[in-house]
Structure 1
Amino acid sequence: MAHNPVNHPARPVYRAIAGLIGLYLVLFGIIGVIQNAGENLFANDDNTVLGQGVNLGGSVLSVLLGVVILAATGLGRNIDVRVNKPLGYVIMALGLAELAVLRTQANLLDWSIATVIVTMLLGVTLLTVAMYSSVGSEDEAEASRSARLVL
């Protein structure tokens, strides 16, 4: 049995945080698309959006991730948990991959260190939110509580 709580009392707060993450990604991406309009998709021209480096490709990716997170959060009923948990890992892996190629020509998304830091924070926050947003019946919640007490 997983050690993630079911029907956590702060579940609405965690879902709101997931919604804010999705909203931030969408707004960041839209501003990036507007600022990088007419540029190559993977240009390395040091454009910044909200203090973070990004190009048109990174902006489009941000919008797509944000829309998926917002849709999953809006649907709820553990769909958000099933979507946000793997997306949290993917976002953190993307941040690590971009950190590895930050000062090379392989920096396809034209990220800066600020973008990597924000991405890693968003990924770990999304993963945490997913771990505490699970809903279930009262029997499942009681089983989850009793499993945590048997340590």
Structure 2
Amino acid sequence: MAHTPVNHPARPIYRAIGGLTGLYLVVFGALGIIASAGNELLAQDDTLVLGQGTNLGFSLLSTLLGVVVLAGTALGRNIDVAINQWLAYLLMVVSLAGLAFLRTEANIFNLNVLTVVVLMVAGLVLLMAGMYGKVGTDEEKEAWQKARLVL
């Protein structure tokens, strides 16, 4: 994409922020697995972790997504950029769907408002990390700079 910066000066910081977001997802998921152990996979009960509603299924999903983000961050080489961007979109869709189904039987992940807000913020943070973490050659950087100056 021509509008995505290449070799941004703060790229290592954005990569670290993406990794910390993945670490948060892993910690939240692990605590959720512990708190909802023995419950049904998609139970709709009052299980809270860090003030956020969860169940065993959502905790497993959070752990899996966090591990994928951490693996992408460890690999680098623009793999983390693609992972962060796609998982950001996924998290935002899940949070919006959770908001739409909040007080219905379709709330299969047992989300509450705080969980929806945290998921949306995590998605936006991952999207930001993905947008500013791209690495490229000097030619790609020059092409990006020329493209952004065209009005």
Task: Normalising by structure 1, report the TM-score.
Answer: 0.98
State the partner residue of 1:108: 108
Task: Name the SS for the 2:3 alignment partner.
Answer: coil
State the partner residue of 1:24: 24
Deviations 1:16-45 (A, max 9, x none): 000000000000000000011011011111
The one-letter amino acid paired with 1:28 is F
- Listed as ranges, the matches of 1:5-16 within 5 Å are 5-16=5-16
State the partner residue of 1:60: 60
Provide the identity percentage. 60
The one-letter amino acid paired with 1:37 is A
> Please, which runs of 5 or more residues in structure 2 have no aligned partner?
none
1:71 lines up with 2:49 in the alignment = no
What RMSD in Å do the two structures reach over aligned CA positions? 0.8
> Please, which runs of 5 or more residues in structure 1 have no aligned partner?
none
Deviations 1:50-105 (A, max 9, x none): 01010111100000000000001110000011111111111100000111110011
- Listed as ranges, the matches of 1:78-97 within 5 Å are 78-97=78-97
The one-letter amino acid paired with 2:82 is R
- Listed as ranges, the matches of 1:113-128 within 5 Å are 113-128=113-128
State how far apart, in whole Å, the 2-side matches of 1:131 and 1:65 are: 18
Pairwise CA distance, 1:150: 2.0
